[in-house]
Every structure is written in structure tokens, then in C-alpha cells.
Amino acid sequence: MAEATLGASRFKANYAVERKIEPFYKGGKVQLDQTGQHLFCVCGTRVNILDVASGAVLQSLEQEDQEDITAFVLSPDDAVLVSASRALLLAQWAWREGSISRLWKAVHTAPVASMAFDPVSTLLATGGCDGAVRVWDIVRHYGTHHFRGSPGVVHLVAFHPDPARLLLFSSSIDATIRVWSLQDRSCLAVLTAHYSTVTSLTFTGGGQTMLSSGRDKICVVWDLRTHQATRTVPVFESVEAAVLLPEELAPELGVTSTGLHFLTAGDQGALRVWEAASGQCVYTQQRRPGPGQELTHCSLVPAAGLVLSVTADHNLLLYEARSLQLQKQFAGYSEEVLDVRFLGPEDSHVVVASNSPCLKVFELQTSACQILHGHTDIVLALDVFRKGWLFASCAKDQSICIWRMNKAGEVTRVAQGSGHTHSVGAICCSRLKETFLVTGSQDCTVKLWPLPSALLSKSLAPDSGPVLLQAQVTQRCHDKDINSVAVAPNDKLLATGSQDRTAKLWALPQCQLLGVFSGHRRGLWCVQFSPMDQVLATASADGTIKLWALQDFSCLKTFEGHDASVLKVAFVSRGTQLLSTGSDGLVKLWTIKNNECVRTLDAHEDKVWGLHCSRLDDRALTGASDSCIILWKDVTEVEQAEEQAKREEQLVKQQELDNLLHEKRYLRALGLAISLDWPHTVLTVVQAIRRDPEACEKLEATVLRLRRDQKEALLRFCVTWNTNSRHCHEAQAVLGVLLRHEAPEELLAYEGVRASLEALLPYTERHFQRLGRTLQAATFLDFLWHSMKLPTLHTAPAAL
């Protein structure tokens, strides 16, 4: 990659995770607090709490049973959060601290499907999949009511806004609304007007009127004094939520009279405002293009002046209530991440293509998300032009789009083109200047698209609409799908990689074939030019990476190490190293000179489709099928500096230790050796003490003056020494001092003492057995010596 040439030529040794963009919402309920500062949503086994200002997850609440959360609710006073899990347990949270204040059984025989607080935050209603409705006193901690009679799942419960009336409303699969009296413990009325599932209930401030919405494409206004429907409004879409608007004028939303108005969200993917009296739609929001835009949730927070809506592809949108102007966007779940790129001249943003027609642009500093609409089918690949402001995308809808980010970080679509007859799965921008881009498709062709001069001029009006791109060259390149295209750093060569197991080199701009790279046993997923040398890297489904010479198309090197398909490869460290990602979820760092895999990074749990390196070559970005986007930071220099500082510190302390031993300052020496956690050095100090003429007294005096944590460490070291017959004497000497002078209660209070004693006993018994055998042998020798009768030796007479 050309951007990597800006980096230093030193070898990299390691990357560390600097940032992780993970899913925080996978469908289900979402709720804002009354201030509009915190957003609560479900993600599997957790309830996540987001800071609306920054988009950061402040708390992730998970019950002890670690089962999926089926329902949750935040009290009207924002003090208490209650969640229900599949294990039929209810948890009451002090959510700001992230701790459970109470946990109790739901008593339902099936999971809880819906929950609601009363207006004064003292009563909690739960609707179960068993058809039961239960009411709990949260303050006094007991169940107050149990209502039966609903068939099937009770998916909706709501209290009357007037706490004095003690009314509870519920709805189940029979499309009726039941009104329960807490005072009489009975069902007051069954409201029938809907013919399909009732999706929401909302009340006017005085509590005289209720609005219900349903998937039968109608909204019904009810008079709660007579329990009769006063108005049925056909809304011509399956409604997931309806919200009553405050009775005040809002000309931007078409509210020009003081009558009852409400907001609906449904499968048409647009918020609409209706006048209840006339049944007319007075405002319709512009619908975003593409699938997955159906709205699944909508709620109003009057105190904060915000409207929250959720789309079917898990995007959360915050609007200003009076004008429905978009304030914030959050991408709750990215599904399978297919490609990622840094954006901006300083890599301040990242753009993500996931299993969706929408692109997501994240600002790294604030986590702010922008959702881009332009394609009508899944976006498959991305690439960025040299300066970082312009980037391109291609999709299954056979089209390409060019986008521009301004200095404020706002992205708009500035050009689009179509011409391929199948999905466009590969795209690459020119490297030297912003002059053209190349696309590869499943139709086995490559197209070269020149950028119009109007696109690059600063005088282009932002509202003039996207410029139409025309392909200048079309070339059939392979016999199977083209998975990757790459433009050389000089913009004169093009490489293509295909499922037909070959890579090919072409001359630009006319796409004339120069040669074929053959050698992989399976299809190619990625091709990449070296930023420095005339070398091409290819990554294949056969689990290997190959380097090829551009002059003679020969294979220079093969890198083996991935257990499955290699999906992406990139040059780093000025072309001297490679980063690769695979379908085994691993990211590997290779040094080209010696074919060595320097580091394997394991942070993803599924196929890593996306890989991009920053301009300064100090960071890398990966995206995978596990919905995670990880920002990696090169920590080679940091680790080397830490290692150097550690070595220097060890040298200084080793010298200090030698000086202390020379001066026979054993207590300081032993304390220093223990603090360094060097068992062998501690052993050396103990041996030096035992060599002293007054060894016994010195050892006792030194060991007993140690702190308790130092004695605990010394006992752990003794376990290691005691396993070796050469060092067991030092271990037994230290152990003897501790046993003689420490009270049993104090010894038993030592951390890990039981495990240490269990490890000491068998080796100590073995040492004593060996000593016993040695003593027996010595006694036997002594006995033999005294029992032997030596014959008298006769000396010969001396010669005269």
C-alpha cells in the first residue's frame, strides 16, 4: 500500500488492541432516560447503557445466570432498572454503579416478555409468555397481584398515567386490550377494535384518552371513561409504535391546530404525523433508500425534546422532537463486516461496509456514527483515494458510488456509476492522483472509471446531486469471479485476483495483459503491490501467501501459517513486512526476508474480511464476521523501550544485591531479592547466609524480620527449592525457622499456605527417607569397622 511508505523502515514486532467497535444492540427494546443523556438497549445477555453525547458504552449489565435478557424497563424517576432473563429471574439494578441491588424469581412459568413501571416508580408489572400478568411492589419487595385470562404471550403492559386510578392495561396475541383494576383485582373491560397484534399503548396527559396501534394498519383512539373507541385512523402501514405528541403547535410537522396529533413508525420506514380528528397525515418524513429501513420502535422523551426511532437493521436515530431534525445516529449491530478503511488525511475516521446496503462512518475520537445511504444492496468493498477525503464503494446492486467527506466530518455521495452485469466485489482507487478507479465483478470483467473534472473542482455545489460515472475501459480478465483488484503505486499497472486460482498483470490505462501468476491451488482473495519493490503479494484460499516478481512472473516466496483461507494481505514497514488476515480469525505479521511469522494476533472470533493500514504505518484496522472492528496500534517501540528499561533496572538491582551480599547486609539483600521475584537469587542469598560462621542465628534473625508478604513469597520459593536435592537444605532451613517461630494460626493465615504445605510434604518425606538410608549405611559401616578382627602382621627380620 502506498500509504505505508510514509512509515519507518524498522521491523515491527507486535500490535496491541487500541480500540474495539463492538455490537451493542441486537434487537429488542430501547429506552431513553428522562434527561436524554443515557440510552438503554438489549444485546444478548446484557443491557448496555450508552452515553448519548459520546456514543460510548458506560455500563454493560449482565445477570449472574448469564442468560439472554427478554425484557427490561427503566423507572420514570430514572432511579431503578429492572431486567428479566430466560432463567425466569428478575434483577433490580443500581445501574449507575452497575450492581444488582435485588434478585428474585419471576414466578412466571415462561420467560417475561414485557415490563412496565407505574408513574410513581413503586409498582412493576410483568407480562409473561405464560399468559399471566403479575404486579410487584418494588419498594416493599413482594408480589401484589396475579392476573390470569390472557391467551398466549402478554407482549404489552402499561399503567394508567394517573396513579390514583390504579389501572393496568395489557395485550396478548388475541389482539385485544385488557383493562385490569388493581383495587378490585379483576378485569374491568376487554377492548376490541384491532384485528392483529397491538404494538403500543400511549396516553394523554390527563389520562382520559388512550391511543393504540397495531399491525392491522390502524390506530385507535379510546375514551377511557367509557372504554369505547372514539376514532379509528387507517394509517396504511403495519405500525410498530405510535406516540401522542404534546398538544402544542409545531408548524414544521404540520401541526397547525391544537387537536390530538400522533406520530407513527412502521414498515414504510418513515415517521409520519397524523391528525386524529380528521384522520389525515399532515407530515411524512423522507424515507431512506434500501432494505432494512423499516422502523421497529419509536418513543418520545418530552423533557429532553427527543424522539428515538430504531430501524430493522439495528440503527438507532435520535431526532429533535419539534422538527424531526436528525441529531444523532448509532449503529447498534454491524452484522458481518466485509471491509474497512481509514478516512481523512489524519485517519480520524473509519468507514465500514457490513452485511447491509448502508455504510457506517465512525469518528474515532468521539464514536459519533454517520449512516450513509446510496446503494440498494449489500456493499462488498471499499477503497480510499490518496488524500483521504474521497472514497469509493461497490455493491451487489452492480453499482459503484464515490463519497466525499468534508472537514467537518460530514459525508455526501458525489458520484455513482453502473455498468457491470453482476455483483461488484472488488474496487481500487488510483494511487498517485485522484484520477480514476478500477472495479472487478462476478461478471469476470474489470472496468476503469475516470473521475470527471467536475467531481474534483471545489466549486461543485453540495446539493447538485451525484455525478454520473462512465466506464472508459471494459476488459474480460478471468474465467471466474474477480475477488480483488490492485493499482500499482505509479498508476501504470493493474493486478487482478480471481477464483480461477490465478492473478494477472495488466498495463493501464488500456488493460493490456502483461502476464499471469500461476501457482496457487485454490482461488485468490487478495492481490497487493509492494510500495517499494517490483513485487506482488497474493493471498489465497489454499492458506498461503505468495510473493511474485513483476519482471518474470516467478514466485519468490511462499508464506505458510494460516490454517484456512487467507483473505487479505497488506505491506507494512516500507514493504519489508506483511500483515495478513484469515478465515481462522487470526491476524499475522510476517517478515519477508526470513519468511518468519513474527506475531499472531488473536482478537476476532470469525473470518477477518477487512484490513487497512494507516498512512503513518503505526496503526492497522481489521473488520470481521463477528461484527467487531478493531483498531490495532504498533507497540514495538513501546515494548522495546519497556524491555530496555527493565533490563537496565535489573542490572542496577543486581549490582545493588551484590554490594549488599559483599557487605553482609543480609536482610536488605533478601528483601531486595524477594521484591524482584527472582527465586534463584533469593536462594543465592540464603546460601550466602548459611555460609556465615553464625549461620543459624543469622538466618533466624534475617527471616523473622521480613514482612508477612515477603515471608509468603519465601515459602513459595521453598516449595520450588525443596523439589531439588541440591537445594533442599536451604528450603528445610527456612522452613524450620518459620515453623519454630511462627504461631500455627499465623502460618495458616498465609496466602496459599495449604497448597504450599501439600507440595512440601511428599518431597520432605523423600529427603528424610534418603537421609535415613544414608544414616543406616553409615551406622552399618561403623559397625563393620568395629567388628572386624584384623590379623596380626608378622614383620620379617631385618637383613643384617
**DSSP strand E in 561-649: where?**
566-572, 577-582, 586-591, 596-602, 608-613, 619-624, 629-634
pLDDT in tens, 672-700: 777 777 788 888 888 787 777 765 677 77
Residue ranges, the chain, pLDDT below 50: 1-9, 799-800
| Closest C-alpha to 716, from 756, 754, 750, 758 | 756
Ordered DSSP codes for 294-355: -EEEEEEETTTTEEEEEETTSEEEEEETTT--EEEEEE----SEEEEEEETTTT-EEEEEES
Q: Are 733 and 699 in contact (CB under 8 A)?
A: yes
How many Å from the N-terminal Cα to the C-terminal Cα in the chain?
A: 109
Position 1 scores a pLDDT of 40
User: Please, are residues 489 and 431 in contact by the beta-carbon 8 Å criterion?
Assistant: yes
Burial of 457 (0-12, 13-18, 19+ CB in 10 A): exposed
In this structure, are strands 239-244 and 467-468 parallel, antiparallel, or unpaired? unpaired
Q: Which residues of 21-60 are buried (b: 16+ CB within 10 A; e: fewer)?
A: bebbbbbbbbbbbeebebbbbbbbbbbbbbebeebebebe
Considering only CA atoms, which of 286, 275, 293 is closest in space to residue 371?
Answer: 293
Query: What pLDDT score does 460 carry?
Result: 58
Query: What is each CA distance from 385 to 2, 427, 428, in whole angstroms?
Result: 11, 11, 9
Report whether 340 contacts 284 (CB < 8 A): no
Q: Cell triple for residue 218?
A: 390502524
Strands (E), 1-80: 15-21, 30-32, 38-43, 46-51, 57-62, 69-74
Which helix (H) or strand (E) is 674 found in, with range?
helix 666-675
DSSP 240: E
Peptide bond into 251 cis (omega under 30): no
798 three-class SS = coil
| Separation in Å, CA 493 to CA 475, 504, 530, 693, 747 | 14, 10, 12, 82, 75
What is the predicted pLDDT for the residue at 6?
A: 37
Our measurement of the distance from residue 218's CA atom to the centroid of its chain's CA atoms, rounded to an integer in Å, reads 40
Q: For residue range 286-298, what is the model confidence (pLDDT) as tens digits?
A: 887 767 789 999 9
Condensed to tens digits (0 to 9), the pLDDT of residues 530-550 reads 999 999 999 999 999 999 999
225, 189 in Cβ contact below 8 A? no
Task: Specify the pLDDT at position 461.
Answer: 57
What span, in angstroms and rounded, lies between the C-alpha atoms of 538 and 558?
A: 10
Position 310 scores a pLDDT of: 94
Q: Count Cβ neighbours within 10 Å for each residue of 556-590 and write b for 16 or more, e otherwise.
A: ebebebbeebbbbbbbbbbbbbbbbbbbbbbbbbb
Taking CB atoms within 8 Å and a gap of at least 24, the contacts of 243-250 are 243/200, 243/202, 243/298, 243/299, 243/300, 243/307, 244/202, 244/203, 244/204, 244/211, 244/300, 245/273, 245/300, 246/302, 247/205, 250/322, 250/323
In DSSP terms, 369 is beta-bridged to: 362
